[in-house]
């Protein structure tokens, strides 16, 4: 069945690493770095603990890999900011992209939040380099929009933090949101409405009057 030697070799490894990383992301998100144990991660992955340590020598190494995967996903979404030079569309796309990630990868967002909460012992260098540069360039873009009169003169950094905070809230605090929603996860419709609300408040908040009537859409029960 196996075609090439390398395929066979790495097939087992790739599959097991995937299982472990998947289990680790959930465990680290729900219990934190200290709270998650290699034993429970191995259990969730369906492997003995010693086998986990065969693929990932230490718990910290495994954690690093999980965090790096999350950062990669985050960076991909970040590029949506640059797809358009009109603030209305750029902001809308960026917010929607970040909201979608909160919906599809809530565990990753939680691991990231946990890491920042605990003073980023593992990802400090990411914060200082990649994230710092990304933020600076995007702030320059927003400042240009303001100079061009395309939006109100708000503090760009404060705007970015607000977008991050709000979008990630739907992942990091989803347990609270679910509890306040009668203990049930948000339906697709509810989540779509939440996205609309965020986009609507941010756009209006920075003084952008949408070409189309966003507010009416947000309230209506339209598809």
Partner DNA sequence: TGAAGACTTGACCAAACGGTCAAGATGATA
Partner DNA sequence: TATCATCTTGACCGTTTGGTCAAGTCTTCA
Closest contact distance (angstroms) between CB of 81 and a copy of itself is 16
Residue 64 as a binder of DNA (CB under 7 A): the answer is no
Q: Site for DNA (CB under 7 A): which residue of 21, 24, 43, 53? A: 53
Which of DNA, a copy of itself, none does 180 bind, CB closer than 5 to 8 A by kind?
a copy of itself
**Continuous segment of H or E residues that includes residue 10:** helix 5-35
Q: Considering the complex, what minimum distance in angstroms separates the CB of residue 124 from DNA?
A: 19
Shortest spacing between CB 64 and DNA, in angstroms: 11
Confirm if 74 and 68 have CB atoms less than 8 A apart.
no
Burial 9-33 (b: 16+ CB within 10 A, else e): eeeeeeebbebbbebbbbbbbeeeb
Lay out the site mask for DNA across 160-199 (x = CB under 7 A, - = otherwise). ----------------------------------------
Q: Computed over its alpha carbons, how large is the radius of gyration of the chain?
A: 21
Cα 194-197-202 angle, rounded to 5 deg? 130
User: What phi and psi values does residue 155 have, to the nearest 5 degrees?
Assistant: -75, 115
**Does residue 54 bind DNA (CB under 7 A)?**
yes
Q: Is 39 in the site for a copy of itself (CB under 8 A)?
A: no
Specify the stretch interacting with a copy of itself by CB under 8 A; choose among 44-52, 60-68, 76-84, 204-212: 204-212
Q: Are 208 and 87 in contact (CB under 8 A)?
A: yes
The residue count for the chain? 223
Residues in contact with DNA by the rule CB under 7 A: 1-2, 5, 8-10, 12-13, 16, 36-39, 47-51, 53-54, 57-60
């Amino acid at each position: 069945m196996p075609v090439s030697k390398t395929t066979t070799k790495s097939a087992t490894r790739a599959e097991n690493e995937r299982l472990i990383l998947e289990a680790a992301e959930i465990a680290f998100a729900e219990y934190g770095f200290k709270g998650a144990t290699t034993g429970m991660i191995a259990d969730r992955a369906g492997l003995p603990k010693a086998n986990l340590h065969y693929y990932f020598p230490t718990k910290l190494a495994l954690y690093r890999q999980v965090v790096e995967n999350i950062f990669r996903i985050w960076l991909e979404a970040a590029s949506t900011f640059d797809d358009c030079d009109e603030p209305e569309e750029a902001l809308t796309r960026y917010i929607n992209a970040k909201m979608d990630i909160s919906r599809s990868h809530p565990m990753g967002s939680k691991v990231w939040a946990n890491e920042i909460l605990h003073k980023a012992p593992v990802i400090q260098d990411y914060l200082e380099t990649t994230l710092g540069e990304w933020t600076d360039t995007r702030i320059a873009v927003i400042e240009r929009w303001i100079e061009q009169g395309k939006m109100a003169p708000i503090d760009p950094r404060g705007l970015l933090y607000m977008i991050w905070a709000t979008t990630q809230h739907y992942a990091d605090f989803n347990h609270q949101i679910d509890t306040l929603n009668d203990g049930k996860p948000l339906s697709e419709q509810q989540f779509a409405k939440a996205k609309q609300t965020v986009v609507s408040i941010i756009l209006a908040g920075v003084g952008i009057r949408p070409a189309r009537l966003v507010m009416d859409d947000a309230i209506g029960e339209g598809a």
